[in-house]
Amino acid sequence: MLNPRHLNPRHFIALLVASALHRFILSRKPLRRIYSTEKQEAKLALLCARLPSVLQSAGCGSKATLWGVTLSSGSAEDPQAAALLRQFLQARKYHVEKTAKMLEGTLRWRREFGVERLRASDFADLPADEIAPQAAADGHSVVTLRLGAVPKSAFSNRARYLRWRLCMQEAGLRSLALGREDAARPGYVYVLDCSDLKAVHVSKAARRCATDLTKVMMQCYPDYLKGTRIINAPAFVAATWVVFRQILPVSFSSGVKVYTQPKSLE
C-alpha cells in the first residue's frame, strides 16, 4: 500500500494535469479580453491572408485538413475553418505572427510524425478513452480515461506512450465534428477516473511520459478543453488539490472538480 506521506504532491498534481491534456498550468494565464470582436476579426483576416504561405512552408501545398476542417486560401469565407483558426489565435493570445508559426509547426509536425496514421488497434494492450459525444449538459463531449487501468508497461516506452495518448487525443477531437456546420461551441470535458490508482501511476517514469505529452500539446494543439473532473480520488488527493488550486491560474483551477471516495491507494 502506498503511504500518501511518501508521495510528492507536486508530482501527483503535475501528472493529473498532464494526463488531462491541459496546457494551462505550464504556459497560460487567463485570456483577457484585450481585443474587441472587431479587432479579433481583424487579426483573423491577417492570419487568413498569411495562410497560403503557411501551408506552403509546412509542405502542404495549397490546402490541408485538420480534424475534418479544410484550410486553404478561401478559409476566410468558410465558417468552420475560421472557427478553427480562431482557436489557434486564442492559443497565442491573438498574436498573428506567433499563431502563424504555431500553425505551420503543427502542420509540419503532423505530416512528419504521422499523426493521421495512428490507430487505436495499435494500442490494444492499453485502455482506450471512453468518448461520449455531446453527453454533457451544455452539449460538450465527455472523454474519460480510467487511470487505474493503465498498466505499468505503458510507462516503459515513452515514444509509444506519446503515440497512444495522441491517438486518443485525435479521437476526442474528431468527436467534436469540427467540420460540420452544426458543430456549435465545440469542446469536451475530460474525466480522469482514479479508481485503482497505484504508485506506478505517479512514478518517475509516468511523470516523464506526461512531460513529453505536455510539450506536444502546448506546441501543436489548440485548446478545446472545457473542464476536468477527477473522480473516485483518494481523500488525500482532494486535500492536496485544496492547497494547490490556490497557486494555479484561475482559468485552470476553476475548471477542475475533484470528487473523492474513502479509499487509500493500493
Q: Which amino acid is at 170?
A: E
Is 181 or 34 the better-scoring residue by pLDDT?
181
Contact 27, 222 (CB under 8 A): no
Q: What is the pLDDT of residues 24-71, one digit of tens each?
A: 334 444 444 445 688 999 999 999 999 999 999 999 999 999 999 999
Evaluate if residue 153 carries a pLDDT over 60: yes
Share of residues in the chain with pLDDT > 90 (%)? 51
Q: Which of 151-160, 199-208, 209-218, 254-263 has the lowest mean pLDDT?
A: 254-263
The single residue listed with the C-alpha cell 479580453 is 33
Confidence bin at 82 (pLDDT 50/70/90):
very high
For residues 246 and 254, what is the distance between their CA atoms, to the nearest angstrom? 10
Q: Greatest CA span in the chain, whole angstroms?
A: 59
Contact 29, 249 (CB under 8 A): yes
pLDDT on residue 161: 97
The H or E element containing residue 186 is none
Confidence bin at 180 (pLDDT 50/70/90):
confident
pLDDT on residue 37: 85
For residues 167 and 163, what is the distance between their CA atoms, to the nearest angstrom? 6
Evaluate if residue 1 carries a pLDDT over 60: no
Q: What is the pLDDT of residues 114-130, one digit of tens each?
A: 999 999 999 999 999 99
Looking at residue 142, what DSSP letter applies? Answer: E
Domains annotated on the chain, with CATH:
4-23+123-261 (3.40.525.10), 37-115 (no CATH)
The single residue listed with the C-alpha cell 480515461 is 145
Confidence bin at 250 (pLDDT 50/70/90):
low
Contact 81, 75 (CB under 8 A): yes
Of residues 42, 134, 171, the one with CA closest to residue 96: 42
